[in-house]
Amino acid sequence: MTIRAERPSRGTRPSRPGAARPAFVLVLALALLAASLLASIALGNLAIPADAVLDVLAGHGDPHHTAVIQSRYPRTALGVLAGACLAVAGTLMQGVTRNPLADPGMLGINAGASATIVAATAYLGASGQNAALWWALPGALLAGLVVHLVGTRHGGTSTVRLVLAGAVLSAVLNAFIQAVTLSKPQVFDSYRYWVVGSLAGRDFDVLWTVLPPAAAGLIVALALGGPLNTLALGDDSATALGARPARTKAAGLLTATVLAAAATAAVGPIAFVGLAVPHVVRALVGTDFRLQLLLSLLLGPALLLAADVIGRLVLRPEELMVGVVTAFVGAPALLLAVRRMRRNA
């Protein structure tokens, strides 16, 4: 007697356990981002009642409250853009290098941006936020490209070479920065406000300047989700499946460089966002880079805006820069990541 296995009808699909979880996580991330946006607009060093905030958002608020709340729009928009760029860049870096402790700072981007700002201020007389932006962006891109070129010599991408090149370049540029700032106190006075990282004092002109490279980088990053999934199988397996690991690594590193350079130029070097968010994302949605990149796009801004709001409230009416807050939050996240790596080793 022959036993035939039953075939499922064409109209039925095999069930996928846990398929609703990514959707739930994405909805939750959208809710967190919306709450962070509202908090960034409503909360600050000047207390405004909730009903007054709603009146302003509805278009018929008190002129004084309207002016205060509208002044928070640029920093909120920059927080969204910078948070998304840093988080997605960190996810790309950790996926390409297969190093869970990788972040955009590993490419020497922060040091490159800082060095060009210091040089322009000391020797060209540059000053102000707009000047810092225009000098930081090419410096960050150039530093990232130098590290990328060193790490991809001989036709491949070596994680060890990338780390060493980034460390060496950062050390050289930081030595240059210290030499200039110590010998020219006026340079240090203007540089120290930018190097901490802050969303305050920026206007929409900064946003429009960095938006084109940031938007292009985010679009390319989302398109790299599938290739990164194949790359996670290993170079040999990826090649057997018809992928091109070297091209995927180069595209991922260049995209991460552009994203991190845009964010750093706009708001200064902000640590730990690109390191902490990918770990949270992996814990929530697993190893699928398509979901990781999409969720990073939502959680990065939520984290940065929440840190900015905390910085406004803890010392009210004074303000704590967002780079300081993210460092306090990110240090425990780094320790937890290291402990998790040791347990999995």
Q: What is the pLDDT of residue 4?
A: 47
Grade residue 341 by pLDDT with cuts at 50, 70 and 90.
Answer: low
Q: Which residues have a Cβ under 8 Å from the Cβ of 226 and sit 6 or more positions away?
A: 289, 290
Q: Which residues have a Cβ under 8 Å from the Cβ of 81 and sit 6 or more positions away?
A: 207, 210, 211, 214, 262, 263, 266, 301
Q: Is the pLDDT of residue 292 over 60?
A: yes
Q: Is the pLDDT of residue 16 over 60?
A: no
Average pLDDT, the chain: 81
pTM value?
0.84
Q: What is the pLDDT of residue 344?
A: 60
Residues 88-116 have a mean pLDDT of 84
Q: What is the pLDDT of residue 338?
A: 63
pLDDT tens, residue by residue, 123-159: 887 776 666 777 888 888 888 888 878 776 655 556 6
The better pLDDT of the pair 250, 2 is held by 250
Q: What is the pLDDT of residue 175?
A: 93
